[in-house]
Structure 1
Amino acid sequence: MANSFYQYQVQTNRHQAFDLNNLKNKVVLIVNTASACGFTPQYAGLETLYKKYKDQGFEILAFPCNQFGKQEKGNNEEIKNFCDLQFNISFQLMDKVEVNGEHTAPLFDFLKNQAPGILGTKSIKWNFTKFLVDGNGNVYKRYSPKTKPEAIEEDIISLLKA
């Protein structure tokens, strides 16, 4: 496991390498998403935050995941089409990943180790768990799926000003 957020490389939904080192000095929100989840309407709140703060150095990376209730069955193209039609998102949609278990994406192992959940648990419990990373690559906080994007806004503002 790498010891810095910036040492990871992930894949976009178009299977292109995306080097997190390119996000240095940016505040980044990482979310595991799903298209058929009760929390899916959070895409709208994420897009609102992104549009509001992207010019100030804020990024969102959405990682589709099918591990919770099989609520992300589509392939990358189907997921992108859904997000475009339903929410018109402009932030970066990534390759579908696993966030728990034997095939966990390395970035999510790092995030879970840096910001464990309630009672120190490492596993992600459901879709739309969020991790906020500061401009130095430190995992600032982990948020539960129930935490709506607008509830994170004050933390984002604080980190953008730091």
Structure 2
Amino acid sequence: MEKPNIYQFSVENVKGETVSLEKYKGKVLLIVNTASECGFTPQLALLEELRTNFETTDFEILAFPSNDFGQQEPLNDEGIGKFCTVNYDTHFTIFKKTKIRGEDAHPLFSFLADKNLNGNFNSAPRWNFHKYLINTKGELVDFFYSFTKPNSARVKKKIQKLLTPTTS
């Protein structure tokens, strides 16, 4: 039986276009909820550094700006994109501002937060810059709290391990 994965979900990009997460089949993903006015906002530079570090691999970062914590994302979608590019020279995918917790949470984030849905972890974001690690099969395999820097050795090792095919 196939394990629960993220490919069942679609999300909206900043242009308002619907994107099926099936587009990312076969890639290792780091899904992050971001905000432009948070104490963790400088992690945008570290996320870009991580992206660059794995640029030649099947690794991608998917950022979901959210205003769910402390109203720290006041910008609109266009403004968020500009902010990230101008201040942090980001080149990873940034999606439309998204509700990530509560009753109105996007189904993707409800899935990522609930072990009954994702099969592995209960890990609802407690703040901005909560990170979910997804393997090449679209399965949630780990998560990192906001205070874990995206370019930390721990995160990089886990990504590298997922990118390195194991011989059985």
Q: Hey, what does 1:150 align to over in structure 2?
A: 151
| Distance in structure 1 (CA, Å) of the matches to 2:12 and 2:60 | 15
Q: Hey, what does 1:51 align to over in structure 2?
A: 52
Identity %: 40
| 2:29 counterpart of 1:28 | yes
CA contact (8 A) 2:5 2:137 kept: no
CA contact (8 A) 1:61 1:92 kept: yes
Q: Which has the higher helix share?
A: 1
Which runs of no fewer than 5 residues in structure 1 stay unpaired?
118-122
CA contact (8 A) 2:37 2:72 kept: yes
Paired residue secondary structure (1:55)? coil
Summarize deviations over 1:125-153 as a string: whole Å, max 9, x none. 10000000000111010110000001211
- More off after superposition, 48-57 vs 64-73: 48-57
- More off after superposition, 30-39 vs 107-116: 107-116
CA contact (8 A) 2:43 2:150 kept: yes
Summarize deviations over 1:74-104 as a string: whole Å, max 9, x none. 1001111110110010000001011111110
Code of the residue aligned with 1:125 in structure 2: it is: R
User: 1:54 Cα deviation (Å)?
Assistant: 3.1
CA contact (8 A) 1:116 1:142 kept: no
Map 1:85-104 → 2, pairs under 5 A: 85-104=86-105
User: 1:11 Cα deviation (Å)?
Assistant: 0.7
Map 1:1-162 → 2, pairs under 5 A: 3-113=4-114, 114=118, 115-117=121-123, 123-151=124-152, 152-162=155-165
How many residues matched?
155
Taking structure 2 as the reference length, the TM-score comes to 0.89
Which runs of no fewer than 5 residues in structure 2 stay unpaired?
none
| Distance in structure 1 (CA, Å) of the matches to 2:151 and 2:50 | 7
Code of the residue aligned with 1:161 in structure 2: it is: T
Code of the residue aligned with 2:160 in structure 1: it is: I
User: 1:50 Cα deviation (Å)?
Assistant: 0.8
Code of the residue aligned with 2:109 in structure 1: it is: F
Q: Hey, what does 1:120 align to over in structure 2?
A: none
> RMSD across aligned C-alpha pairs, in angstroms?
1.0
| Distance in structure 2 (CA, Å) of the matches to 1:67 and 1:110 | 17
User: 1:19 Cα deviation (Å)?
Assistant: 1.1
Q: Quick one: structure 1 residues 6 and 54, their matched pair in 2 at CA, closer, same or farther if it must change by over 3 Å?
A: farther
Taking structure 1 as the reference length, the TM-score comes to 0.92
| Distance in structure 1 (CA, Å) of the matches to 2:5 and 2:38 | 31
Paired residue secondary structure (1:124)? coil
